[in-house]
Amino acid sequence: MSKAVVSKLLAGLVAAAVCQAAAVAAAPHQPSFDPSTLKLVRGQINQVMVLGSPHLSQLPKPFDATTLQLLNERLVAWRPQAIAIENLSGVQCANLRRYPQRYADTVKSYCRDTSAAQAATGLDVFEATDRAERLLAAWPATPTAAQRRALASLFLAAGEPASALVQWLRLPAPERRAGDGLDTALVETLDKLMVRPDEGYLIAAQVAARVGLERVYAMDDHTADKPELSEAEQTAAGVAVMKAWDNPASAQRTDSNKALRSEITTATGVLAMYRAYNDPGQAALIFRSDFGAALEEPSPQHYGRGYVTYWETRNLRMASTIREAMSPPGMRMLVIVGASHKFYLEAYLNQMHDVGIVDTDAVLHH
């Protein structure tokens, strides 16, 4: 055999090996271990229902809170034993404030000012959080109005206004007054929260109070927020992702949302909107319009992939907070979250051994 033939054979073998290696690299390894298939066998598994919601503050104004009546009644009938909402906890906000170089915009956008409650109670966020947890650990079966007012003041100082509102709603109307840590300014704050267009207040806190819960759990997470290093990079990233979002799936979502929101002047219209937002078909549409489109956007800096990194990290950390809140085990937990988060949280939570996902159809359609 000539040297030329041997060289050609060797070259062919090398090329084949390279192609095979490339094919292997292109096919990600599929782990053999799948936690979602190994669920609790003995005892009652934790049940989690994730309700995808529009952000009520972004709906056409004025929003009539009475149109939530049917939805809230169905959630109350499910009898959740814990409720989690898409808010940042006071403790996380306090920690973010310590790193303004990275989180200044996050704090401005998502964290409430607790200074008025701190002045009224003499407690900072960490002290108030600890005091509230200790009170709840020894909470009586029939607390007095004074105890509820005191706990509401602690929740406000702890940066947990939705939980403060739960206590306020559990008080008889004549007892919703100043005293026991609440001054007149904090009373005014609580009264305003009762009508503020926010799903944490008009749905979660209302349902929690009606089923006899003492608090809700703030489970949003913005520790993955990381602004670009320069304004030019921020602008470029925004342009790239916005361009990716300009697609037929996004147009379909926009048209659907307009139609749904035109009917929210009635309780049946609001319920129809929640049915549509939680329809399983929304998962693929949301992915195509948003995260899937961003994942494939062609900028050399891969801005879209960076955005998806942030999104996945945020949802994973939200899921871990929800999982941590399932104590004691065997509870029913309602999670109220922006509709784009719903299907990610269901998928991530379903990986947990002691979590079973409850279909929202059981509540919204029956």
Please choose, from the candidates 220, 101, 87, 106, the residue with its C-alpha nearest in 3D space to the C-alpha of residue 159. 87
Please give the share of the chain, as a percent, with pLDDT higher than 70: 93
Model confidence at 230, in pLDDT bands (50, 70, 90)?
Answer: confident
State how far the Cα of 53 lies from the Cα of 9, in Å rounded to an integer. Answer: 62
Q: Mark whether 170 and 242 lie in a shared domain.
A: no
H-helix or E-strand spanning residue 233: helix 231-245
**Looking at residue 191, what is its pLDDT?**
98
Residue 131 lies in a domain: yes
Q: Mark whether 208 and 248 lie in a shared domain.
A: no
Q: Mark whether 207 and 236 lie in a shared domain.
A: no
Comparing 5-19, 288-302, 337-351, the range with the smallest average pLDDT is: 5-19
Residue 112 lies in a domain: yes
- Mean pLDDT for the chain overall: 93
Q: Mark whether 205 and 255 lie in a shared domain.
A: no
The full 3-state SS of 105-118, as one line of letters, equals HHHHHHCCCCHHHH
**Looking at residue 19, what is its pLDDT?**
56
Residue 42 lies in a domain: no
Report, as an integer, the average pLDDT of 319-348.
96
Report, as an integer, the average pLDDT of 275-285.
96
**Looking at residue 228, what is its pLDDT?**
74
Report, as an integer, the average pLDDT of 185-201.
97
Q: How many residues does the chain have?
A: 366
Domain that holds residue 96: 87-218
| pLDDT tens, residue by residue, 146-161 | 999 999 999 999 999 9
Q: Mark whether 248 and 333 lie in a shared domain.
A: yes
| pLDDT tens, residue by residue, 20-76 | 655 555 678 889 999 999 999 999 999 999 999 999 999 988 899 999 999 999 999
Model confidence at 108, in pLDDT bands (50, 70, 90)?
Answer: very high
Residue 10 lies in a domain: no
Per the omega criterion (within 30 degrees of 0), is the bond before 328 cis? Answer: yes
Report the Cα 242 to chain-centroid distance in Å.
22
State how far the Cα of 80 lies from the Cα of 133, in Å rounded to an integer. Answer: 20
**Looking at residue 5, what is its pLDDT?**
55
Q: Mark whether 241 and 332 lie in a shared domain.
A: yes
Q: Mark whether 95 and 194 lie in a shared domain.
A: yes
Model confidence at 229, in pLDDT bands (50, 70, 90)?
Answer: confident
State how far the Cα of 181 lies from the Cα of 171, in Å rounded to an integer. Answer: 15
On the question of pLDDT at 8 being above 90, the answer is no
Model confidence at 10, in pLDDT bands (50, 70, 90)?
Answer: low
Residue 47 lies in a domain: no
Please give the share of the chain, as a percent, with pLDDT higher than 90: 86
Residue 308 lies in a domain: yes
Residue 80 lies in a domain: no
Tally of domains in the chain = 2
Q: Mark whether 193 and 301 lie in a shared domain.
A: no
Report, as an integer, the average pLDDT of 131-140.
98
Q: Mark whether 214 and 95 lie in a shared domain.
A: yes
**Looking at residue 34, what is its pLDDT?**
94
Q: Mark whether 153 and 242 lie in a shared domain.
A: no
On the question of pLDDT at 92 being above 70, the answer is yes
**Looking at residue 61, what is its pLDDT?**
87
Query: Which residues on neighbouring strands pair with residue 217, listed in sequence order?
Result: 84
Q: Mark whether 198 and 244 lie in a shared domain.
A: no
Report, as an integer, the average pLDDT of 206-210.
98
Residue 48 lies in a domain: no
